[in-house]
Structure 1
Amino acid sequence: MSPRKSVAESRLTRRRILDLGLAIASAEGLERLTIGRLAAELEMSKAGVLGHFGTKESLQLAVIEAAAEMFVREVPERARGVPRGLPYLRAAGEAWISYLERDLLPGGCFFTAAAAEFDGREGPVRDAVARTSAFWQRELRVNIWRAVSLGELPPDTDIDQLLYEIVAIMLALNHFRQLHGDRQASARARRALEGLF
């Protein structure tokens, strides 16, 4: 086997592990993600899985990174090219709703589940979840500020309050879809966002 083929196969195997890990973690939580379970489901040895990540914590961190890459691809990237400010907020909101209603992960929003699982803990996994969430909130905050400065939103808009309400709508959307199977939740989320904007 050539070194190039070996590297390509290693990347493919790592991707398969991460894809399965992401699906499991979205539905059951990062703590349910074990080297043994991944090895069994992928018909690999534990040593084979460990060779890619080393520890359970490293695996969890890699799954968080994979989830962040998916979110960026499905939400901010879909709003790329839209003018900053209110048009961007609307496009990002629609992309966010679309991301959740297409059920790309069996457990819905990975970060909603991970935040609930790790919000009362300390350590690198909790910090990675919080950092990713904060990064996206900064992006939204900048665009709210831009919308206010351009006169697209009222000058007395409470930027932090509006950010809070946008995030709350998305948390509610995930909750109603995942826990209650409410297929009207997406339409409610769209109406709620439009009411804010």
Structure 2
Amino acid sequence: MAGARTDGRVERGNQTRRLVLGRTMAIASVEGLDGLSIGRIASELGLSKSGVFALFGSKEELQLATIRAARAVFADQVARPAAEEPPGLGRVRRLCEAFLAYSRSRVFPGGCFFTSVSAEFSARSGPVRDAVAAARSEWVGHVRELVEEARRAGELRADLDVPQLAFELTALLEMANNDSALHADDAGYGRAAAGISARLAAAAA
């Protein structure tokens, strides 16, 4: 019986944690990570402040937990669909398509979570900035890795500048996200898709 009670408390704690992080990711995508506080989240979700504090302990840990949760969502929405394709140009295209769909469908109400918080923390220092920078580096590195896979598979030119192409693809994706979020202009998604297709065609072996 004691084990069952313990398991029940753990599961309730996990459910509360998921509820809180779902809300904090949504807020941060629009207002930034500085818009988060334990008191605000407790009030908005009808939870006790002490209960939320017991789960996270500080505003900084709440921010860091939000970043970790957003990384998991990003991986599921963007990286996982691409991983279902074999290495090569098809996987690169699928990654770009998945990012555009993730942004356009507003998985987060502010568009891409990491585009929003990267701008917020780009000139700061500290653990939160480091976590944002690590997530950003992981994303850019993943794009490079998939481009390099396609080059090794013989589907892109052997002399291709892989970091340059990855930079250009990332820039097109993020510009489409920014235009949609800032100007409510979804035409950028089509322009980004066309630009990516043209760039990959130019780089093809």
Number of the residue aligned with 1:128: 131
TM-score, length of structure 1 as denominator length:
0.96
The answer to whether structure 1 residue 36 and structure 2 residue 33 are counterparts is: no
Q: Which moved more, 1:77-86 or 1:20-29?
A: 77-86
Per the TM alignment, residue 78 of structure 1 is displaced from its structure 2 partner at its CA by 0.9
Residue 127 of structure 1 aligns with an amino acid whose one-letter code is D
Secondary structure (helix, strand or coil) at the match of 2:135 reads helix
The answer to whether structure 1 residue 153 and structure 2 residue 161 are counterparts is: no
CA RMSD of aligned residues (A): 1.2
Superposed CA deviations along residues 120-157 of structure 1, whole A, max 9, x for unmatched, are: 11111111111111112222212212222232112232
The answer to whether structure 1 residue 50 and structure 2 residue 53 are counterparts is: yes
Q: Percent identity?
A: 41
Residue 33 of structure 1 aligns with an amino acid whose one-letter code is L
Number of the residue aligned with 1:11: 14
Number of the residue aligned with 1:107: 110
The answer to whether structure 1 residue 79 and structure 2 residue 119 are counterparts is: no
Superposed CA deviations along residues 58-99 of structure 1, whole A, max 9, x for unmatched, are: 000000001000000001111122111211101111111111
Measure the CA separation in 2 of the matches of 1:34 and 1:110: 18
Per the TM alignment, residue 104 of structure 1 is displaced from its structure 2 partner at its CA by 1.1
Per the TM alignment, residue 183 of structure 1 is displaced from its structure 2 partner at its CA by 2.0
Please identify runs of 4+ aligned residues in structure 1 that moved more than 3 A. none
Task: Give structure 2 stretches of 5+ with no counterpart.
Answer: 201-205
Residue 195 of structure 1 aligns with an amino acid whose one-letter code is A
The answer to whether structure 1 residue 183 and structure 2 residue 186 are counterparts is: yes
Task: Give structure 1 stretches of 5+ with no counterpart.
Answer: none
Per the TM alignment, residue 188 of structure 1 is displaced from its structure 2 partner at its CA by 1.1
Measure the CA separation in 2 of the matches of 1:145 and 1:110: 26
**Which of 44, 60, 66 lines up with 1:63 in the alignment?**
66
Matched positions, count:
197
